[in-house]
Amino acid sequence: MKRIVEKQCPICGKVTYMVIDAENYDQVMEYMVALYFNTKRKMVQKALPFLDKFGREFIKSGYCPECQEDLCNSVLEDKSSYFSCSDIDNEVLDEFFEVVYKIGAVNALSSDKANTLSMHQKLYIANAFEVWERLQVDDSGKIILVSEVSEDEKGKS
């Protein structure tokens, strides 16, 4: 299952999302909270050993992959774990948001209408509407319902 972490690059200002395994999400958030509040924490390499150097730097500083490449004079070979809003088809997203506003995010993401979305788009929508307790996105981009939406909650998610 997948989740995303959102950061705004302090160099270029672009908002970038990093796709991570859901099982590692809590560790990343714990590290980010400790970093934010400047509390005692492990070195990033020990706290987040499942991330490569680009991922650790993204979490620690917010530098997007492109700015890291420029700063460090190195190349990130596989950028599939990163995306920004400019990387996803916003026309498709706009059409899908119309469905979301009619039937709710969880219902829309679990409907056939979501088949037109990429994994990054699904993750973006799930993040924007904070519906992680209701659904998950698997490694292939398929939506997995964790809990059903009650009749009272339909349209509100």
The residue length of the chain stands at 157
* Cα–Cα distance, 79 to 95 (Å, whole number): 26
- For the stretch 22-76, pLDDT in tens is 999 999 999 999 999 999 888 999 999 999 999 999 999 999 999 999 999 999 9
Rounded to two decimals, what is the model's pTM? 0.89
* Cα–Cα distance, 152 to 7 (Å, whole number): 34
Predicted confidence (pLDDT) at residue 157 exceeds the cutoff of 50: no
For residue 39, give every residue at least 6 positions away whose Cβ sits within 8 Å of its Cβ, in sequence order, or none: 33
